[in-house]
Amino acid sequence: MSKCEHCIVRQFNALKELTTEELERISKCKSTLSIKKGELIFSEGEHLKGIYCIKKGVCKISKMSENGKDQIIHLIQKGGLLGERSIINDEVTNLKATALQDMLVCFIPKEEILKDLHENNEFSLGILKGMANSLKNADNVIVNMAQKTVKQRLAETLLFLDTNFEKTEDNKLGLQLSREDIANMIGTATESAIRLLSNFKKKGVISLKGKEINILNTEKLKKIARGF
Nearest to 33 by CA among 16, 52, 15: 52
> Which partner from the list its own copies, DNA, none does 133 bind, CB cut-off 5 to 8 Å by kind?
its own copies
Rule CB under 8 A: is residue 48 a binding residue for its own copies?
Answer: no
Rule CB under 8 A: is residue 110 a binding residue for its own copies?
Answer: no
In the list 79, 110, 194, 220, the residue contacting DNA (rule: CB under 7 A) is 194
Contact 18/123 with Cβ under 8 angstroms?
yes
Nearest to 42 by CA among 62, 26, 72: 62
Our CB check for its own copies shows the closer of 120 and 199 to be 120
The answer for residues whose C-beta is within 8 angstroms of residue 126's C-beta and 6 or more apart is 13, 14, 15, 16, 17
For the chain, how big is the Rg over CA atoms in Å? 19
In the list 161, 186, 213, 215, the residue contacting its own copies (rule: CB under 8 A) is 186
In the list 29, 142, 208, 216, the residue contacting its own copies (rule: CB under 8 A) is 142
The separation between the first and the last C-alpha atoms of the chain, rounded to the nearest angstrom, is: 52
> Which partner from the list DNA, its own copies, none does 198 bind, CB cut-off 5 to 8 Å by kind?
DNA
Give the other-Cβ count within 10 Å of 205's Cβ.
20
Rule CB under 7 A: is residue 210 a binding residue for DNA?
Answer: yes
Contact 124/73 with Cβ under 8 angstroms?
no
Residues in contact with its own copies by CB under 8 A are: 63, 65-67, 69, 71, 73, 84-85, 88-89, 91, 94-95, 117-119, 121, 124-125, 127-129, 131-136, 138-148, 186-187, 226-227
Residues in contact with DNA by CB under 7 A are: 67, 149-151, 178-180, 187-192, 194-195, 197-198, 208, 210-211
